[in-house]
Structure 1
Amino acid sequence: MANDSRQQVAMFEIKKASEAEIAKRDDLAGKVAEALAMAGFTVHRDVNQASATQGALVWVDPAEDSRGGVFVQWLINPSLSRAAVESAQKGEIQSSAFLYFSFVTEHMYSTLIAILGSAGFQAGDGDDDMSPYLIRVEG
């Protein structure tokens, strides 16, 4: 039984990219964060603190496969995020909180892509169904 458990855990293990690749991603993430800061954005780099912050979040996913890379996401004030979630859970997708959240999220997504593009980065959709406004950045 214990052996079966270890085999199941191994199936879900995420392989990390090489140290050289992660260093390359970290360098790119630093340049992305610097470009956004120069444009006037508040930039955060700690994905583990995302729920308590607002502004642009820039982070590196160390996964070896296509899930890995450098990502950017716009973080709205946590109180607005909570209000939008509460509205959605109640089926109130026409509430002012939900509409405001949606408007800001959609516009900041396209704005961040445009700003990153103007700074020389290749930025586009992160192709993540669980996070539809996730931006993937390449050098």
Structure 2
Amino acid sequence: MFEIKKASEAEIAERNDLAGKVAEALAMAGFTVHQDVNQTSAALGVLVWVDSADDSRGGVFVRWLIDPSLSRDAAESLQKGEMQSSAFRHFSFVTEHMYATLIAILESASFQVGDADDDMSPFLIRVEG
């Protein structure tokens, strides 16, 4: 079976420290911040978490959490091919603008950030020191 190798305990501790600083900076900017990636089904605001993998998937990540009803409505529109529906347009607008806003705020707080290059989550932000 495939096993994911974890980063060293020292590396994970550094990532956790960075994630805490990122969460603090975003909270100071007025965002509701969540840090438990396993408890996001009804959470709204910003998710900051650490992936402990010892490869390119590992690191500190930030994502905007949209209300599940809007996500569902947008997904249904997409499945129906209704790319111009108000739900899909609104979902896209919010997602794109919050992605840019979070990057700008984190850069303003002196973090090095960029796109995580994750095909499954195109608006995922990777944070470096």
3-state SS in 1 of match to 2:40: helix
The residue that corresponds to 1:88 in the other structure is 78
Deviations 1:96-126 (A, max 9, x none): 0000000000000011000000001001101
1:121 and 2:111 correspond = yes
Unaligned runs of 5+ in 1: 1-8
Give aligned-pair identity as a percent.
81
3-state SS in 1 of match to 2:26: helix
TM-score by length of structure 2 reads 0.98
Amino acid of the residue matched to residue 28 of structure 1? L
Give the Å deviation of 1:135: 0.0
Match of 2:67 among 57, 70, 77: 77
* 59-68 vs 45-54, greater mean Cα deviation: 45-54
CA RMSD of aligned residues (A): 0.6
Q: Following superposition of structure 1 onto structure 2, how do residues 94-133 of structure 1 map, counting pairs within 5 Å?
A: 94-133=84-123
Distance, in Å, in 2 between the alignment partners of 1:82 and 1:94 is 15
The residue that corresponds to 1:28 in the other structure is 18
Please identify runs of 4+ aligned residues in structure 1 that moved more than 3 A. Answer: none
Give the Å deviation of 1:50: 1.9
Distance, in Å, in 1 between the alignment partners of 2:24 and 2:58 is 21
Deviations 1:60-101 (A, max 9, x none): 000000110000000111111111111111111110000000
Q: Which has the larger radius of gyration?
A: 1
3-state SS in 2 of match to 1:105: helix
Match of 2:44 among 54, 63, 66: 54
Amino acid of the residue matched to residue 119 of structure 1? A
Distance, in Å, in 1 between the alignment partners of 2:39 and 2:82 is 28
1:134 and 2:121 correspond = no
Amino acid of the residue matched to residue 136 of structure 1? R
TM-score by length of structure 1 reads 0.91
Count of equivalent residues? 129
